[in-house]
Every structure is written in C-alpha cells, then in structure tokens.
Amino acid sequence: MSPPILSLALPSATGRVLSIQSHTVQGYVGNKSAVFPLQLLGYDVDPINSVHFSNHTGYPTFKGQVLNGEQLWDLIEGLEENELLYYTHLLTGYIGSVSFLNTVLKVVDKLRSANPKLIYVCDPVMGDEGKLYVPQELVSVYREKVVPVASMLTPNQFEAEQLTGLRIQSERDGREACNILHAAGPARVVITSINMKGKLLLIGSHQKNEGQAPEQFKIVIPMIPAYFTGTGDLTTALLLGWSNKYPEHLDLAAELAVSSLQAVLHRTMNDYISAGHDPKSSSLEIRLIQSQDEIRNPQVKLKAEKYD
C-alpha cells in the first residue's frame, strides 16, 4: 500500500496552492518571488513554471524554455491520474500567449470540479505605465474569460484600465474600476498601484454579497526612488496569504501585505547602497531570503483608510 500524500491527508490549516507563473534560475520574479513567502505563511505550494529562464528578461540576454498549453495540460493530467489535484487556491501571474491562457481556464474548471470552493487569485499581468508587454489579444481573453472566473484580481493601474475601459485619473475612478470588475466576477479586487499626483495608492474593494455595495479602502504608499523586479508577484502572493487568514478583512490583509513589501524593498535598497551601487541606476533584485522575518511577522506602519 502506498503511503498517503500528507499535504492531502493532513493539509495545512492555511491551504494548498497551485501557482502557475514564470521561473528564473537566478533572481526573484514569478514563482521565485511567490512560493517562498507563501510557504513562510504556512501554505503548501506546488509551482508550475510557465517559463524556465536563466534570469529575468531585463538583463542583456536570457536563455531557457517556455511551457506551452499542451505541456501544462500534461502536468495537470499527471496530477489527476495520481489523485493529487485537490487545491484550495490557484495563483496565476505572467502568461505570454493566448493558447496558454486558454489552457489555464481549463485548469480552473478542472480544479473547481475537484473543489468547488477553489479560490482563484489572478494577477492579470499585461503591462505598466501605459505599455502592454503581452500580445494585444490577451487583453480580451482576460476581460471576457478570466475575470469572470477569478475570486480575487490584483491589477495595477494600467491593467485595471485595460480590463474596464475606464481611465483612472482619480480615487473615484479607481473605486469605480473596482465596481466594474466586481460586476464582471471577482468578489475581491485590489488595484495594487495607482500613481496619482506624485502619490502611490493601493485601492482595495471587497463585495461580500452579490448586489451589496462593496467595502472599499485605500492605502497611501510612500514612493521609493528605485525600480525593483518581482514586486507585483510578491504583492499578489502576500495578498493571497493574508486574505485567506482574514477572509472578512481585506483591508487588514492589504495592510500586512504592503507592510511586508515595503520592508523587503527598504532592505533591498539599503543592501545595494551598502554594496556601493546607486539604486536609481538599474532595476534591483529583491532581497527575499534576507527579509523572511518581515514576511512572517510584518510591522504594520501603513494603515488602510476606509471610504464611506
């Protein structure tokens, strides 16, 4: 008789996450930025690497392999054939092709057939600062097919504009974008970064019951004069981790996630300065391993302000 799979027989109190994202040998983006923090918060995490690159694509060169939709489905079938396909959460990040994204939609259906209560946390990675870095045709697939099946959505300002068709120029616009996305599907929406008049805002929205006005809040985030890689992947992972621990308090979950993120970024910037590098001169690889205490037990310094 085969031994039991303990992550299924004796599951962690927090949950079991399937994370489909990119992977780099060196550095912390995609799954490398998401898996470890979730494990620190008590989750069993099974990663599927949508790409396997030597390093992130911001370097002068990169080498590696890209997983296609058929290969993704092979992995899912292998899990299913061995009765390993029970997950409490699905997490997705950067996806580079329509065919792969359509296969992810099949994965959502398959996972929900095993667990109808599956929570799907989607970071709809499409672009930033007015520029798409995925094919244009992905936008309509996200808007028409992915958003309706997501439980939580974590777009940045540009991605929220792409998904809603609404230009976000004020806090009111940000809140309205959340309302549009709620109407399309997800009960929780966090626009993770809105650049407004020199301020950086996170706007969160939780529609606890269909037809009910959502509870909405903002967190004003101090801007750090540097550019970091992997921050969006880390933010979404932390939002998943903390929102599951505090399912009725998305504002508290966001406070904890933002506080951890800020601690990681400050440590990263200070370490680069200690090494004699000007942090404004290039994108910085986050110091994830060195920041594990701040991930497990963040000190909340940035508080959510609820909207009336």
Q: Read off the pLDDT band of 274 (50, 70, 90).
A: very high
Which is higher by pLDDT, 186 or 2? 186
> Is pLDDT above 90 for 5?
no
Long-range interactions of 292-298: CB distance < 8 A, separation 24+: 292/36, 292/40, 294/259, 294/260, 294/263, 294/264, 294/267, 295/37, 295/40, 295/41, 295/238, 295/260, 295/264, 296/40, 296/41, 298/256, 298/259, 298/260, 298/263
Active-site residue set = 233
Domain boundaries, the chain: 13-306
Residues of the chain with pLDDT > 90, as a percent, come to 85
> Is pLDDT above 90 for 181?
yes
The answer to whether 120 and 153 are in contact (CB under 8 A) is: no
Name residue 200's beta-bridge partners.
Answer: 195, 221
Domain range 13-306, its CATH number among 3.40.1190.20, 3.30.930.10, 3.30.1330.60, 3.30.70.20: 3.40.1190.20
C-alpha span between 92 and 90 (Å, rounded): 7
> Is pLDDT above 90 for 225?
no
Which is higher by pLDDT, 250 or 278? 250
Structure-token pair, residue 182: 């709620």
SS (H, E, C) the chain: CCCCCHHHHCCCCCCEEEEEEEEECCCCCCHHHHHHHHHHCCCEEEEEEEEEECCCCCCCCCCEEECCHHHHHHHHHHHHHCCCCCCCEEEECCCCCHHHHHHHHHHHHHHHHHCCCCEEEECCCCEECCEECCCCHHHHHHHHHHHHHCCEECCCHHHHHHHHCCCCCCHHHHHHHHHHHHHHCCCEEEEEEEEECCEEEEEEEECCCCCCCCEEEEEEECCCCCEEECHHHHHHHHHHHHHHHCCCCHHHHHHHHHHHHHHHHHHHHHHHHHCCCCCCCCEEECCCHHHHHHHHCCCCCCCCEECC
> Is pLDDT above 80 for 7?
no
Section 5-25 average pLDDT = 87
Q: Read off the pLDDT band of 235 (50, 70, 90).
A: very high
Q: Read off the pLDDT band of 156 (50, 70, 90).
A: very high
pLDDT for position 19: 98
C-alpha span between 258 and 239 (Å, rounded): 9
Mean pLDDT of the chain: 94
pLDDT tens for 96-133 read: 899 999 999 999 999 999 999 999 999 999 999 889 98
The answer to whether 15 and 91 are in contact (CB under 8 A) is: no
